[in-house]
């Protein structure tokens, strides 16, 4: 057994497994519970090193004996979701767990890690530092807010009827809509020394020198210094934020922008929310997409994120040019109405995609009267359903979408709607 000690006895490990299986993080995913229970029982039985993708596909996922892991990525995709769910559980429900279950990337063999081990301490310390580092996105958010206020001075209560129908409670007076924007972790490259965290990121200086030369006005230094940060929005997300802000302002709605790094789910409780982010760096996006017909997942074949239709297994994959910038990207719009505070209907909208240009395309699609009018006509009764998803394709120039086009939509069954933030 991995990380064996007095605290990781088989009985203690089974108790740790039972706690995870009955947690809120796993309550809506029977398949992930079965996945985790199977690999943990195999590990506790001494067969953990024998776990493989084919075995899990047949015994847990119900794939036929003729199943080929090379052609069917179901197990790999579910393993990716399982790791996210475990991170969510230990960060929000049981951060002080005596034993943590970990499934390292590239393996299906689970590790049982004692809560006082160096591995567990490093994870807890990193999360504590993240939560205490509170720096607002002042400049960018200020610029966005200032531009929207200026625009609002000439445009007020001028919203197309189709948009009022599509956005519903998001644009109602007193709706208290939150635009919630996530940002990925970056490495800030500097030519001078900086206060660094305890673990210093290492990148080949030759690689940094190559990228630094893109700034011809700067002198390329001999030495580089790196500082991790998640305080920088991606350009597509920023442009998309302006697009939805214009709609909210035109409707005279009560709304505000919050960066995800300083505003978690408690800020969203009982309120309308428009969320920007990908499951790669947004736990909320990962949770909302966990049981949806369409999701954004890592595709092993192209080693990048694509949009996956779960039941058919079909992928919409970004297309890349020679310099590795995506020239064809995909966005995903997810609308999830639900009942909120004081029985008032609130609405949650997730804008995500294969990259920030895809997210921008999804935001601009949702903000376009022409696009939403055409979408309304695609639904069976010519009305927006209570919950749905739309896949959008766009041509992109680096990180900015140049256009957008409808690809496919799905109505979300009532039993798959996510609950409001509580």
28-60 per-position pLDDT tens digit: 888 999 999 999 999 999 999 999 999 999 999
> Please, what is the Cα angle at 409 between 364 and 273, to 5 degrees?
50
* pLDDT of amino acid 165: 92
DSSP H helices in 45-169: 53-59, 74-88, 118-132, 138-152, 161-167
pLDDT of residue 172 exceeding 60: yes
* pLDDT of amino acid 333: 98
Could you say which DSSP state residue 379 is in?
S
Tell me the pTM.
0.62
Residue-wise pLDDT tens digits, 370-417: 999 999 999 988 899 989 999 999 999 878 899 999 999 999 986 666
* pLDDT of amino acid 146: 54
Q: What is the DSSP annotation of 297-366?
A: EEETTTTEEEEEETTTTEEE--EE-TTS-EEEEEEEEEEEEEE-GGG-EEEEEEEEESSHHHHHHHHHHH
Q: Which of 326, 325, 350, 327 is nearest to 337 (CA)?
A: 350
Domain residue spans in the chain?
10-131, 138-184+232-416, 187-228
The full length of the chain comes to 422
* pLDDT of amino acid 216: 67
Two structure tokens written together for 271: 């309120």
Yes or no: say if 339 and 368 are a contact pair by the CB < 8 Å rule. no
Report d(CA 233, CA 134) in Å as an integer: 15
* pLDDT of amino acid 127: 41
> Quick one: average pLDDT of 128-151?
45
């Amino acid at each position: 057994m991995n990380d064996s000690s007095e605290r990781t006895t088989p009985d203690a490990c089974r108790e740790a497994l039972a706690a995870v299986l009955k947690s809120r993080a796993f309550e809506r995913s029977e398949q992930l519970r079965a996945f985790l229970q199977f690999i943990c029982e195999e590990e506790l039985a001494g067969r953990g090193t024998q776990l493989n993708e084919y075995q899990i596909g047949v015994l847990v996922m119900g794939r036929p004996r003729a199943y080929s892991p090379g052609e069917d990525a179901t197990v790999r995709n579910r393993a990716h979701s399982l790791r996210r769910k475990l991170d969510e559980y230990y960060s929000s429900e049981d951060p002080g767990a005596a034993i943590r279950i970990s499934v390292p990337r590239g393996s299906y063999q689970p590790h049982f890690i004692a809560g006082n081990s160096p591995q567990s301490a490093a994870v807890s310390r990193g999360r504590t530092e993240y939560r205490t580092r509170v720096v607002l996105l002042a400049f960018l958010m200020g610029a966005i807010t200032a531009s929207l206020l200026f625009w609002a001075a000439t445009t007020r209560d001028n919203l197309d009827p189709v948009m009022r129908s599509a956005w519903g409670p998001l644009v109602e007076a007193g709706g208290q809509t939150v635009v919630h924007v996530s940002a990925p972790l970056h490495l800030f490259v500097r030519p001078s020394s900086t206060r660094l965290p305890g673990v210093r990121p290492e990148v080949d200086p030759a690689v940094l020198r190559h990228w630094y030369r893109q700034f011809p006005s700067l002198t390329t230094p001999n030495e580089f210094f790196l500082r991790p940060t998640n305080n920088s929005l991606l350009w597509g997300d920023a442009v998309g934020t302006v697009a939805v802000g214009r709609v909210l302002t035109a409707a005279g709605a009560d709304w505000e922008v919050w960066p995800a790094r300083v505003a978690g789910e408690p800020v969203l409780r009982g309120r309308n929310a428009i969320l920007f982010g990908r499951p790669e760096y947004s736990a909320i996006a990962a949770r909302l997409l966990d049981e949806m017909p369409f999701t954004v997942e890592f595709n092993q074949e192209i080693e990048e994120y694509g949009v996956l239709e779960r039941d058919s297994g079909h992928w919409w994959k970004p297309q890349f040019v020679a310099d590795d910038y995506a020239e064809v990207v995909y966005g995903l719009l997810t609308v999830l109405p639900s009942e909120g505070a004081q029985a008032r209907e609130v609405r949650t909208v997730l804008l995500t995609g294969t990259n920030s240009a895809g997210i921008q395309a999804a935001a601009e699609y949702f903000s376009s009267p022409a696009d939403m009018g055409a979408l309304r006509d695609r639904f069976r009764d010519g009305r927006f359903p209570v919950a749905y998803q739309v896949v959008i394709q766009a041509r992109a120039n680096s990180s900015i979408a140049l256009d957008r086009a409808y690809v496919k939509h799905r109505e979300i069954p009532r039993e798959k709607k996510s609950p409001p933030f509580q």
